[in-house]
Structure 1
């Protein structure tokens, strides 16, 4: 009859069996010593058909025994809420794990990503190295049910910008994207200029950038290419 399982702390292994009604799962691992072969997410999720709400902390976590796949070998069609924290998008393995999970939940409605960036300023030096986040790599993916996205700790790095670009372009029913920056952003920054120019698949999509109050980018005016 277990429907919700919430764990926070150090962990060496975990095994959840015979929980057919488990709908909410939260794993916040701290100083984990869990071995990858003990905890392969591809196997872990296989019997979680009732799962609707998933919270995962990427710090200290080894999600797959081998290289992260493009997506799980099965879909979890009932997952509607996905919360990923401490996601370092510039790190190849972590990025691949996050993208794998996002791709594997076709009925996802709410996505929250807390990014962990080692750089606190916008820098184009890393452009071109995050190929796995380019739009062409999502040609077979559409987030048909995604309505709300939260990006927490945003600092304007290239992989963060690419993730936002993908989500806007591939989410036809998106209503709101909320961005909470980890740096001070002014209205004349390159970051805002780029965000305003991103294509939105949903005509209803609004981008709210939080800094000293709320800035709604869908109403922000810019002189670049006449975009409003």
Structure 2
């Protein structure tokens, strides 16, 4: 871990900055980088308050990459970036508040094992200000989801509010062995009513059979009327994979008879 040199904070013409494993301690009177277009921080030690202030003082920021360490478990990073278009985040969803991101079009979220809150994954507030979000790539880390059924009885059918802007949704490295995991996926998909493109990369596992069936009658309010393309990679024909396919076929306007 190294301390970022104080001379960096006087480089007012900087437009792109990538930091790895450093310690940020700005000089007194530092007002931010008003020419920043891209900021990437991976395992950088900085307080959540200072990070939020740094971001808010980058009025031209379009790309933000944050890999947040466990030091931020109880802190909230406030992101006020009116020009932000791409956000790549690794950490706990509950540690981030997207206060002002009206132009944000694409998010890549790598959610760790405490990102999920009961019934709504902690995503409800996260998506509130993402009115321009078109594409979402979401990676759930493990093992929380493998053990989730042990302490959470059920998943809400959908988020409290639909996210109408999302048209592309990618779910790589997804395990569908557990019924709970399948319910998580469906909760998110049903919360994107104008979804057009869905890609799921399945993590191949031994098919232990489904302890409960995904009955189509239970999804009477679910429609995928705008869904045009579904891509399933590493498809192995397991019970839950087949249930997912049957649901799309039954509920999609473009595929229904």
Alignment TM class, shorter chain as reference: 0.5 to 0.7
For the 8 Å contact 1:51–1:79, the answer to whether it is kept is no
Name the CA shift for 1:34/1:52 in 2 (closer, same or farther; >3 Å): closer
Q: Name the SS for the 2:109 alignment partner.
A: strand
Instruction: Measure how far apart 1:70 and its partner are.
Output: 8.8
- Asked if 1:204 is matched to 2:203, the reply is no
For the 8 Å contact 1:55–1:82, the answer to whether it is kept is no
- Aligned pair partner of 1:80 in 105, 115, 134: 105
- RMSD in angstroms over aligned alpha carbons? 4.5
Greater Cα radius of gyration, structure 1 or 2: 2
Q: Which ranges of structure 2 fall in alignment gaps of 5 or more residues?
A: 1-12, 78-93
Normalised TM-score (structure 1):
0.63
Q: Name the SS for the 2:185 alignment partner.
A: helix
Higher relative contact order (CA 8 A, sep 6+): 1
- Asked if 1:147 is matched to 2:167, the reply is yes
Q: Distance in 2 between matches of 1:2 and 1:159?
A: 46
For the 8 Å contact 2:166–2:192, the answer to whether it is kept is yes
Count of paired positions: 209
For the 8 Å contact 2:108–2:136, the answer to whether it is kept is yes
Instruction: Measure how far apart 1:165 and its partner are.
Output: 2.7
Q: Distance in 1 between matches of 2:211 and 2:105?
A: 30
Q: Distance in 1 between matches of 2:154 and 2:162?
A: 23
Instruction: Measure how far apart 1:143 and its partner are.
Output: 1.9
- Asked if 1:169 is matched to 2:179, the reply is no
Q: Which ranges of structure 1 fall in alignment gaps of 5 or more residues?
A: none
Normalised TM-score (structure 2):
0.57
